[in-house]
Amino acid sequence: MNTALLILVILYLLGTLAIGAWAGSKIKNTSDFAVAGHRLPLIMVVTTSFATWFGAETVLGIPAKFVNGSMREIIEDPFGASMCLVFVGLFFAQKLYKMNLLTIGDYFRNRYGIVVEILCSTLIILSYLGWVAAQITALGLVFTILSGGAISPAVGMIIGTVLVLIYVIMGGMLAVVYTDFIQMIVLVIGLSYIAWISSSLAGGTSKVLALANEKELFRILPEPTVKDWLFFVGAAITMMIGSIPQQDVFQRVMSAKDAKTARNGAVIGGLSYLAFAFVPMFIVVSSLIIMPVESKELLKDDPQRVLPTLILNHMPFFAQVLFFGALVSAIKSTSSATLLAPSTSFVENILRHLWPTLDDRHLLKAMRISIFVFAFSVLTYAIVSHGTPIYDMVSAAYQITLVGAFVPLAFGLYWRGATTQGAIASIVFGVGVWLVFTLVPSLGKEFPSQLAGLIASILGMIDGSMLPQWIAHSPATEEATYQVHPTGH
């Protein structure tokens, strides 16, 4: 057991509780709790966007997929994930910011009505199970590794969840953005230092890159067949556009002090994430030179342990502290944001309809309670799903929003002809076709289920909007007439 290192990691996690308590003292209403009062400067929007995206899958999942395959295997993340933030900044941020909404579900209500709001919000909430569970799984792995197996993965998950949960409940989005700023600094410094040491131990950067080239790890395009290209495109769009209608992305847009900051923060954050995501991949390729026998065995049995094993067995103590500090920072920044997002959506877009008399003070209390309930649900899901690769847990999470929520959002913003009937048809057809292709293996093996669902969703929107209207709604189609949330600024 690496007692000193384990103690330092726990102290680091406890230190974030102080930030949560301090941020909690500044919470006055649901706007402060959910979107930091719409007052973040550019640097904070960039750091919280970067830190939220840079999670357990970036440090542990992506490098494992990369060295076991090639860049083609990670087209979904980091390539698709980073482009999601860029697309949000270029095509969605300013339009949504001007509407002064609290959640992405508010947009669906104002544009299409309550039924679409509840349907899309439910899909968004469900999509977070896999993503947050991946972070909780990684926390369990960290405690297990540092304790030498004395702490089981399940117990590690419980400890990590409790520590993250407390500061999110206390400080909300304010706690998240302040800790994200600190955690991004720890991430960049820690992983950059580790990459420098790894390069030296491996004989230089050129030797590492030469090995990657020799193993054809830089291959990114699929085989020249229709089927391979379809699955390649399906993987690329899963996070690239499936993450666009997510509440955590929306919260970063709405937390900015103005529309320009929202746009620039998302674009810079996305490009920064893409650039720095290659650092863990470089370190793992270095490990193939530094510890060839151990790496070969781990890549076959548990590739997610390659990087932690390299750090613990071949790096000085200071480097170990920096690495696990960076890893915990990555996990915490993502898990905190993704605990807050679905809980906010549930209270604002579902509970408010069930309990319309709630005032802002009770809504804030309900958000905190829902965070606790969602955290317990995710913890249970993570323990039950133990053994599932972190990368796979994350990638599967976004398919449901890709097929159910993206088309109503994009068409609602850019096509005046989009109707409530079209949105409902889009959701029903998209999710329905996706489920069929997912549950019938023979179909899913021939055509990617998420791409089939997206095509059905688009057709449902167009046909449902152009056919005679049986579902009536009178949404505001102009930005200027969108309702402003009562706690907005």
Confidence of residue 112 (pLDDT cuts 50, 70, 90): very high
Q: Where are the alpha helices (DSSP H) in 147-225?
A: 153-202, 205-214
pLDDT in the model for residue 361: 78
Determine the average pLDDT of the residues in 98-108.
89
Confidence of residue 24 (pLDDT cuts 50, 70, 90): low
pLDDT in the model for residue 7: 83
For the ranges 52-66, 385-399, 419-433, 435-449, the one whose mean pLDDT is highest? 419-433
CA 187-192-195 angle, to 5 degrees, is: 125
Q: Give residue for tokens 């097929």.
A: 403
Q: 288-336: per-residue pLDDT in tens?
A: 999 998 888 888 877 778 888 898 888 888 888 888 877 777 777 777 7
CA 12-14-18 angle, to 5 degrees, is: 110
Is residue 324 within 8 A of residue 56, CB to CB? The reply is: no
Take residue 261 and report the two structure tokens written for it: 């900051």
pLDDT in the model for residue 473: 66
Mean pLDDT of the chain: 84
Q: Is the pLDDT of residue 279 over 90?
A: yes
Smallest CA-to-CA distance from 311 within 185, 147, 198 is with: 198
In whole angstroms, what is the distance from residue 415 CA to residue 448 CA?
27
pLDDT in the model for residue 165: 80
Determine the average pLDDT of the residues in 95-111.
90
Confidence of residue 451 (pLDDT cuts 50, 70, 90): very high
Q: Is the pLDDT of residue 433 over 80?
A: yes
- How far CA 295 is from CA of 83, 141, 149, in Å, comes to 31, 18, 20
In whole angstroms, what is the distance from residue 1 CA to residue 287 CA?
22
What DSSP state is assigned to residue 298? H
Q: Is the pLDDT of residue 122 over 60?
A: yes
Q: Is the pLDDT of residue 355 over 90?
A: no
pLDDT in the model for residue 50: 86
Confidence of residue 485 (pLDDT cuts 50, 70, 90): very low
Rounded to the nearest 10°, the torsion over CA 355, 357, 362, 363 is 60
Confidence of residue 209 (pLDDT cuts 50, 70, 90): very high
In whole angstroms, what is the distance from residue 108 CA to residue 410 CA?
11
Q: Is the pLDDT of residue 417 over 80?
A: yes
Q: 60-76: per-residue pLDDT in tens?
A: 888 888 988 889 999 99
In whole angstroms, what is the distance from residue 335 CA to residue 311 CA?
23
Class of residue 65 by CB neighbours under 10 A (exposed 0-12, middle 13-18, buried 19+): buried
Confidence of residue 57 (pLDDT cuts 50, 70, 90): confident
Which has the minimum average pLDDT: 26-30, 406-410, 452-456, 479-483?
479-483
pLDDT in the model for residue 479: 40
In whole angstroms, what is the distance from residue 320 CA to residue 9 CA?
11
Is residue 202 within 8 A of residue 208, CB to CB? The reply is: yes
Q: What would the DSSP string read from start to end of 59-120? A: IIIHHHHHHHS-GGGGIIIIIIHHHHHHHIIIIIHHHHHTTT-SSHHHHHHHHH-HHHHHHH
355: left (phi over 0), alpha (psi -120 to 50) or beta: beta
Q: 249-269: per-residue pLDDT in tens?
A: 888 778 888 999 999 999 999
Smallest CA-to-CA distance from 30 within 107, 125, 102, 79 is with: 102
- How far CA 465 is from CA of 437, 460, 473, in Å, comes to 25, 8, 12
The alpha carbon of 144 is separated from its chain's Cα centroid by a whole number of angstroms, namely 24
Is residue 131 within 8 A of residue 120, CB to CB? The reply is: no
Q: Is the pLDDT of residue 483 over 70?
A: no
For residue 40, what are the β-bridge partners? 256
Q: Over pLDDT 70: what percentage of the chain?
A: 88
User: Measured on CA atoms in the order 306, 309, 313, 316, is the torsion positive or negative?
Assistant: positive
The alpha carbon of 368 is separated from its chain's Cα centroid by a whole number of angstroms, namely 20
pLDDT in the model for residue 171: 63
Q: Is the pLDDT of residue 58 over 50?
A: yes
